[in-house]
Amino acid sequence: MKQNLYNYILGIADNSLILGQRMGELCGHGPSLETDIACTNISLDLFGQVRSYFQYASKLAGDGRTEDDIAMLRQEREYVNVLLVEQPNTDFAYTIARHFLFDVYHLLFLTELEKSKDLTLSAIAKKCIKEVRYHERFTSDWMKRLGDGTAESKAKIQEAINDLWTYTDELFHQTKADKAMVAEGIGVDVTKLKDAYYEKVNEVLTEATLETPESKYFQKGGKKGIHTEHMGYLLAELQYMQRAYPNMEW
Amino acid sequence: MSPERKATIMSEEQIKNLEKQFEERIARDEKIEPKDWMPEKYRKTHIRQMSQHAHSEIVGMLPEGNWITRAPSLRRKVALLAKVQDEAGHGLYLYSATETLGISRDEMYEQLHTGKAKYSSIFNYPTITWADMGAIGWLVDGAAIINQVPLCNTSYGPYARAMIRVCKEESFHQRQGFEIMLKLSNGTPEQKEMAQDALNRWWWPALMMLGPTDAESVHTEQSMKWKLKRKSNDDLRQQFIDQTVPQADILGLTIPDPDLKWNEERGSYDFGEINWDEFWQVVKGHGPCNKERMKARVGAWERGEWVRDAAMAYAEKSQERKKKQVI
What are the tens digits of pLDDT across the range A101-121?
A: 999 999 999 999 999 999 999
In percent, the amount of chain B with pLDDT more than 90 equals 87
Position B231 in a domain: yes
Distance CA A146, CA A157 (A): 6
Distances (CA, A) of B220 to A204, B228, B229: 56, 9, 7
Segment A169-183 mean pLDDT: 97
Q: How far is B317 from chain A (nearest CA, A)?
A: 8
Phi-psi region of A118 (alpha: psi -120 to 50; beta: other; left: phi over 0): beta
Supply the pLDDT for residue B1.
Answer: 52
**What is the CATH topology of the domain spanning A3-244?**
Ferritin (1.20.1260)
ipTM comes to: 0.97
Contact at CB, A149 and B314, closer than 8 angstroms: yes
Q: Give the model's confidence band at B13: pLDDT under 50 very low, under 70 low, under 90 confident, else very high.
A: confident
Residues of A in contact with B91 (CB under 8 A): 33
Position B305 in a domain: no
- Longest Cα–Cα distance of chain A, Å, equals 56
Q: Which domain holds residue B45?
A: 13-286
String of b and e for B45-67 (b: at least 16 CB within 10 Å)?
bbbebbbbbbbbbbbbbbbbbbb
Supply the pLDDT for residue B4.
Answer: 55
Contact at CB, A31 and B308, closer than 8 angstroms: yes
Least CB-CB distance to B84: which of A27, A34, A237? A27
Say whether pLDDT at B220 is over 80: no
How many residues are there in chain A?
Answer: 250
Return the residue of A nearest to B133 by Cα: A250
Choose from B62, B68, B84 for mutation: most chain A CBs within 10 A.
B68
Distance CA A150, CA A48 (A): 35
Supply the pLDDT for residue B7.
Answer: 53
Say whether pLDDT at A233 is over 60: yes
Q: How far is B214 from chain A (nearest CA, A)?
A: 34
Contact at CB, B81 and A40, closer than 8 angstroms: yes
Residues of A in contact with B180 (CB under 8 A): 250
Say whether pLDDT at B8 is over 90: no
Q: What is the SS3 assignment for B132?
A: helix
The tally of domains found in chain B comes to 1
Contact at CB, A150 and B95, closer than 8 angstroms: no
The CATH number of the domain where B259 resides is what?
A: 1.20.1260.10
Distance CA B191, CA A241 (A): 11
Contact at CB, B81 and A146, closer than 8 angstroms: no
Position B202 in a domain: yes
In this prediction the pTM is 0.94
Residues of B in contact with A52 (CB under 8 A): none
Q: Give the model's confidence band at B2: pLDDT under 50 very low, under 70 low, under 90 confident, else very high.
A: low
Supply the pLDDT for residue A1.
Answer: 62
Supply the pLDDT for residue B15.
Answer: 87
Map out the domains of chain A as residue ranges. 3-244
User: What is the residue-averaged pLDDT of chain A?
Assistant: 97
Cβ contacts of residue B206 below 8 Å, gap of 6+? Answer: B122, B139, B140, B142, B143, B240
Position B104 in a domain: yes
How many residues are there in chain B?
Answer: 327
Distance CA B99, CA B304 (A): 22
Q: What is the SS3 assignment for B312?
A: helix
Least CB-CB distance to B188: which of A29, A68, A248? A248
